[in-house]
Copies of this chain bind each other. A is one copy, B any other.
C-alpha cells in the first residue's frame, strides 16, 4: 500500500481532545488506502517546560542529559496518539526513536539523521498495522544514548521518514494553513501559495518564516519529498495548504514568490580598519570560532589604507561578536578605531526562483524602496534572493510596498 507521512506539531496535539481531532484526519487517510506514518511533537509547552528545568538545573548543561530529558515529551504524545487510533479501531502502535531505531550522529541536541531502517515498521504494516506513530525530534547515537535533532526537529523526522519509506507525500499539520506571499499580519494582501519550490521555501525558512525547520526543507529537496504544509484546525480539501515541491512541478511561477522579513538582525560596523590582504579573514575567523552567524557583509571603499567593514548577525549574538573582535584586537590580529552596533534595523528579502532567468528584480526592489523614502544600509543577494537591511521603523512599509510592486496578491 502507498505510504503517507503525517506530522502534527505541538499545538495540534496539545490536549487529548486535539489528539483525537488529529487522529480523525489520520483515519481519513487510512480509509483512502494509505499506510500512514504519523510523526508527533510534544504537547505545546511541554518541551519549553523541560528545557526550563534543564536550564534551572545546569546553565552549562551536558547535552547528552539535556537530550534524555527534553525528548520525553514526544514519547508521551506518540503513545497517546496510538491509543487514540486504537480507540477508533485503526490498528496502530507507537515507536520511540531508539526503537525504530532512528540512528543519528552523536552531536547531542543538534544531531543529524544517519539512517532509518524500514524493516521493523514495514513488517508491522505487512501484519495489518495501518499506522506507525513515531515520536519526533529524537533518535539514538552510536553509543546508544538518546539524541535530539534541535528545536523544530520533528519536521526533519517527518521528511526523513518520508524519504526512507518512499512516501507519496509528507503532510505537515501546523497552526497556519500554508505558506503565504508574506506575513498576513503585515500585509492584508498576503496570499496563500498553492505551490512553492524547495529552493524558495529554503530561503524563506532561513529568512524567518517560521513554518518549517530549515533542515527539513533541505532534506526534502535532496530526496525530492513532496511536502505539504496545512492547518490542523480547518476542514481540509484535497489541495489544501501549500505544496513544497520541485521546481518542475510548478507550471508557471512569478519572478518573486514571497517577501520575508526578520527583526532579529543587528548591523555591526568596524570603523577604520587597516585595509590589508587577509583582513577579512582576520575579522571573520574569530567571529565564526565564537559561534557568531554572520549573514551580510559589506566593505566600504578604502581611503588612505583604512576602511569600514559592516556585517549583520542575529541580535542575540551581538555581545559575543563584540567580545570576539575585542579579543582579536587585544591579540593584535586586527586594528580598528571603533565598533558600532546598530540594533535598530530589520532585514527584508524578496525570494523567487524566477529571478534566475529575469533581470531587473534588484533594480525594481531598490526603486520601490527609494520611492517610499527607505534608505538601504546593506545589500546581499543570492541566485533567488535579494535581502536589504533597513531601519526597523520602515520594515512594515517596505514589506507592503514590495508586496504591491511585485503584485504578489495576484496568482501567477
Chain A 43-67: CB-based contact to B (< 8 A → 1; otherwise 0): 0000000100110111001101110
- Counting CB contacts under 8 A, is A87 at the interface? yes
B residues near A72, Cβ cutoff 8 Å: 72-73, 75-76
Q: Chain B contacts of A66 at CB under 8 A?
A: 79, 83
Q: Does A310 contact B (CB under 8 A)?
A: no
**Contact of A87 with B57 at beta-carbon distance under 8 Å, contacts A96-B68, A98-B98 already known:** yes
Q: Is the CB of A68 within 8 A of B79?
A: yes
- In the assembled complex, the CB of A345 is this many whole angstroms from the nearest CB of chain B, namely 38
User: Please, how many angstroms separate the alpha-carbon atoms of A167 and B73 in the complex?
Assistant: 33
Across the two chains, which residue of chain B brings its CB closest to A101? B144
The one of B56, B65, B73, B84 in contact with A16, judged by C-beta atoms closer than 8 angstroms, is B56
Q: How many Å from the CB of A100 to the closest CB on chain B?
A: 10
Minimum C-beta distance from A86 to chain B (A): 6
How distant is A90 from chain B, measured CB to nearest CB, in Å?
12
How far apart are A33's CB and chain B's nearest CB, in angstroms?
24
Q: Is B68 in contact with A53, judged by CB distance below 8 angstroms?
A: no
Copies in the complex: 2
Judged by a CB distance under 8 angstroms, whether A365 is at the interface is no
**Are B80's CB and A146's CB within 8 A?**
no
Bound complex: CA of A175 vs CA of B21, how far in Å?
A: 41
Q: Is the CB of A230 closer than 8 A to any CB of chain B?
A: no
- A149 contacts the other chain (CB 8 A): no
CB pair B53 A65 closer than 8 Å? no
Partner of A86, one of B16, B58, B82, B94: B58
Q: CB of A19 within 8 A of chain B?
A: yes
| CB nearest to A86 among chain B residues | B62
CB proximity of A119 to chain B, nearest CB, Å? 13
Chain B, residue nearest A20 (CB): B57
Chain B nearest CB from A104 CB (Å) reads 15
CA of A57 to CA of B43, assembled, Å:
14
Q: Could you pull out 5 A-B pairs where Cβ atoms are within 8 angstroms?
A: A50-B76, A53-B76, A65-B80, A65-B82, A72-B76
Query: Which residues of A come within 8 Å of B, CB atoms?
Result: 16, 19-20, 50, 53-54, 56-58, 61-62, 64-66, 68-69, 71-73, 75-76, 78-80, 82-84, 86-87, 93-94, 96, 98-99, 144-146
Other A-B pairs beyond A69-B79, A96-B146, 7, CB < 8 Å: A53-B80, A65-B79, A65-B94, A68-B75, A68-B82, A98-B98, A99-B145
Closest 3 CB pairs of A and B: A69-B79, A68-B79, A58-B83
